Structure 1
Amino acid sequence: MKGVQPMTAAIHLPQLRVELATTPQDIYASQRLRYEIFAKEQGAQLESAAEGIDRDHYDDYCHHLLVRRTDTHAVVGSTRILTTPNARKAGSFYSENEFDLRGLFPQLKGNAIEIGRTCIHPDFRNGAGIGMLWLGLAQFIEMHRVDFLFGCASISMNDGGAQASAIMQETRANNLAPAELRVRPLMHLLPTVPATKINMPPLLKAYLKLGAWVAGEPCLDPDFNVADIFILLDVNKLNTRYHRHFVQGSLKRNTASDTGLLRAA
């Protein structure tokens, strides 16, 4: 991979471990999981679908963070990290394909990374998978002295946008970024009657509890049939109490299982 260095050490738990990909085979395993989740489960239209993987231009410039089962070594969680220097080499951040970020970058005083293509195998969606990814992200943030983390959190549009509308109503009231930190979507959602009950996606819920902002209105991604919300986390204002709870909860869930195959929520 271009400009990518491995983590100094993997974090190990009895059932799961988190580590950075160091070989092409590791990245391929991540791309296979992404294909299984995004294309087969969620119906995304991928240019690389014929290969049975989810692959794009940015993969060669990203760090790929993997969660593996310790017994089978299968990849059950994945996200990718794009640093600012590698985004320059790639030509842009991935988010710039969906949002106008030109007004945001001058406001970010410090080192920023982008998180994307996050997915968790269904058997690990009880919080353990995301918890393990956050363990890895926290280590990466510390190692690389990261000040800001941003990226897209997706909401399914299978209901026509009712959930996206309801979630945005709530986040506008409680989690909206200051005006100078907001971004503009390149493809707006059509107005939709909000759902009466909110079903917050686990990744978005985790980021909001960690103290992330929603930095403006969502963007429609027709290929993935989702509404993407741009999230921005100031690491120096991280909700440390929830961070400890989130990480410790993940550790407890992992050590509670003898088989390592955690049930989906």
Structure 2
Amino acid sequence: MMGLKKGRYRVVEGQCPADIADAQALRARCFGLDRDADTFDPLCTHILIRRLSDDALVCCFRMMPLSGAEISRSYSAQYYALDALAAYDGRMVEMGRFCVDPEVRDPDILRVAWGAMTAYVDCNGVELLFGCSSFSGTETADYLDAFAMLKARHLAPKRWLPRVKAPKVFKFAARLRRKPDAKKGMLRMPPLLRTYLLMGGWVSDHAVVDDRMNTLHVFTGVEIGAIPPARKRLLRAVIG
């Protein structure tokens, strides 16, 4: 994946403290924080997408490889009880801190990002991709159709279902009785989560209310073997 170029962008793995600092600065801007750095950064591979014309960082995310037995060390495990996934015997990776410069509006950035993710998954034999997918803000009323859609169509298989751990959660699967308006639901679905769902992704039955990040987030998993073949072809087409 090192040196991957597509259109106006190139993909690199963070190789030095300056790269990581650039990623942390972009994350802080996107998440509205003074600073965004944590103990997980040194454990992750940082993927940076830079604009060829001026080398500006326009997108970044990080990948943390884990086994099922190690899942309690993940970022997500701070918020979800993931005991069931400890039995997962394939290679897994946690994808996190995904962000795109809010001042740069170009759909090609997301395409390149997903191409980079696909290259990482292929190169490392990953079988399960997971992470936290975030809704902006903490008002659940803004997203009821989206949550109703998640309940109706996208809940995790019972054998992998994350349990409640965080002190403040919205148990949408238990509380919602409404039939979702599919159009409204998809419009309110975060773009990253929408892409996960198109790949056959599944989610926890509750959302964590994260006041520090001002988000609602759901645990999200994508089993690579279950991605529809047509979707795999589209993802791999990006990396040629």
Q: TM-score range by the shorter chain?
A: 0.7 to 0.9
Q: 2: distance between equivalents of 1:114 and 1:222? A: 22
Which residue pairs with 2:53 in the alignment? 71
Deviations along 1:220-260, whole A, 9 cap, x unmatched? 11101111111111011112312433565x68xxxxxxxxx
Change (3 A) 1:180 1:125: farther
Residue 178 of structure 1, aligned match among 142, 145, 157: 157
Q: For 2:21, give the aligned amino acid.
A: Y
Aligned to 1:135: 115
Contact 1:104 1:181 in 2 (8 A): yes
2:162 equivalent to 1:169: no
Shift of the 17–240 alpha-carbon distance from structure 1 to 2, 3 Å rule, reads: farther
Query: Is the aligned partner of 1:245 residue 2:224?
Result: no
- Secondary structure at the aligned position of 1:172 is classed as helix
CA RMSD of aligned residues (A): 2.5
Q: Do residues 60 (structure 1) and 42 (structure 2) align? A: yes
Among 4, 24, 28, the residue aligned to 2:17: 24
Return the letter of the residue paired with 1:72: D
Which of 194, 197, 205 matches 2:194? 205
Q: What SS does structure 1 have at the residue aligned with 2:15? A: coil
User: Cα offset for 1:215?
Assistant: 3.0
Give the counterpart of 2:221 among 232, 246, 249: 232
Residue 25 of structure 1 aligns with an amino acid whose one-letter code is: A
SS of residue paired to 1:54:
coil
Residue 209 of structure 1: how far off its partner (Å): 0.5
Counterpart of 1:109 (choices 85, 89, 108) is 89
- The amino acid of 2:84's aligned partner reads G
State the TM-score, normalized to the length of structure 2: 0.86
Letter aligned with residue 149 of structure 2: E
Return the letter of the residue paired with 1:241: A
State the Cα distance separating 1:146 from its structure 2 match. Answer: 0.5
Aligned partner letter, 2:95: I
* 3-state SS in 2 of match to 1:133: helix
1:4 alignment counterpart: none
TM-score normalised by structure 1 residue count: 0.78
Give the one of 188, 209, 212 matched to 1:223: 212
Counterpart position of 2:7: 14
Q: Cα offset for 1:202?
A: 0.6
Tell me by how many angstroms 1:81 deviates.
0.6
Within 2, Cα distance between the matches of 1:172 and 1:138?
A: 27
Superposed counterparts of 1:76-155, under 5 Å: 76-84=58-66, 88=70, 92-106=73-87, 108-155=88-135
Cα distance per residue 1:90-136 (max 9 Å; x no partner): 97100011100012221x22001101110011244543222211111
Asked whether 1:156 is paired with 2:127, we answer no
Give the Cα–Cα distance (whole angstroms) in 2 for the partners of residues 127 and 61 of structure 1: 29
> 1:114 aligns to what SS in structure 2?
strand
Q: Which runs of 5+ in 2 are unaligned?
A: none
Name the count of aligned residue pairs.
228
